[in-house]
Amino acid sequence: CKLITSAVQRAGVNKLYGLAGEVNSTGDDQKKLDVLSNDMMINALVNSGVCSVLVSEENEEPIIVPPGKAGKYCVAFDPLDGSSNIDCNVSVGTIFAVYERKPGSDGSVSDLLRSGADCICAGYVAYSSAVEMVFTFRGVGCFRF
């Protein structure tokens, strides 16, 4: 999230406003910051060694982490929610949910297609003049940083 924060804060200077010329999985036009943020999230999560499946709003297909780097968690995320308003200088953020891989699974989309009650943690990071991270853990409560 530190990299995304930096990109959002420097978007004007680095000419990251505007369309990237692609369409995401929900049919929205992708912004340059969408693509950059998505690449940053995927790179960080694939190389973390703890994820086995990633699902992003920006990708049509799930990302299956190679076995040598795979862990036991599955993450669904929108790397830059609200990016359609980024040119207006309003807050944007990253939203995510984390599930544990089902017992006996090698990591597939079905590990994510289940009830929110199975979610281990979820949260968001809001990028604005200040950056705020909020997590909630199943059965524990909500934490704000």
Report the distance separating Cα 51 and Cα 45, nearest Å.
6
Report the distance separating Cα 117 and Cα 137, nearest Å.
11
Alpha-carbon torsion (35, 40, 41, 45), positive or negative: positive
- Residues 79-110: pLDDT tens digits? 988 777 766 667 788 999 999 999 999 899 99
Q: How confident is the model at residue 13 (pLDDT cuts 50, 70, 90)?
A: very low
Identify whether the C-beta of residue 138 lies closer than 8 Å to the C-beta of residue 121: yes
Residue 128 tokens, joined: 């604005």
pLDDT for res 91: 78
Report the distance separating Cα 26 and Cα 59, nearest Å.
9
Identify whether the C-beta of residue 32 lies closer than 8 Å to the C-beta of residue 52: no
